[in-house]
Amino acid sequence: MKKLAPLATLVTDDHLTGLETWFELPNDPGRPAPPRWKMVVVTWIGVFPLLGLLQWQIAPRLGNIALLPRVMVIALVVVATMTYLVMPRLTILLRRWLYPA
């Protein structure tokens, strides 16, 4: 039982928020997600500059498009960029803070 105890704590479904996959380390799958407040901080670190850049570069070019389609385009770009580019890099960069020993 003692040998199996670490395996039982690898995956948990308690209080899942949906953002846990953004915080999975490539070399350590199944590790429990960091505390929610740390996920909020790291997500904000990724979203804030990305939204600023999009508002500065993309939003003016979409000025002729109605509000709803414009927001849909920006949201799509933010979600895709966060999922495939920003969060994997931030999670690796901040892994010592997110997952202290």
| 25-34, 66-75, 79-88: least confidently modelled range | 25-34
- 1: in domain: no
- 59: in domain: yes
Q: 72-101 pLDDT, tens per residue? A: 999 999 999 999 999 999 999 999 999 887
Band (pLDDT 50/70/90 cuts) for residue 45 is very high
Q: How far apart are CA 78 and CA 61, in angstroms?
A: 16
pLDDT of 78 reads: 94
The count of domains in the chain is 1
Whether pTM exceeds 0.75: no
Q: How far apart are CA 90 and CA 99, in angstroms?
A: 13
- 19: in domain: no
pLDDT at 19 exceeding the cut of 80: no
- 89: in domain: yes
Maximum separation of any 2 CA atoms in the chain, in Å: 64
- In the numeric block, which tokens belong to residue 42? 């790291």
- 91: in domain: yes
Domain containing 51 equals: 35-101
Q: How far apart are CA 27 and CA 49, in angstroms?
A: 27
Count of alpha carbons within 13 Å of 24, Cβ hemisphere only? 12
- 47: in domain: yes
Residue 20 CA: distances (Å) to CA of 25, 39, 68: 10, 8, 28
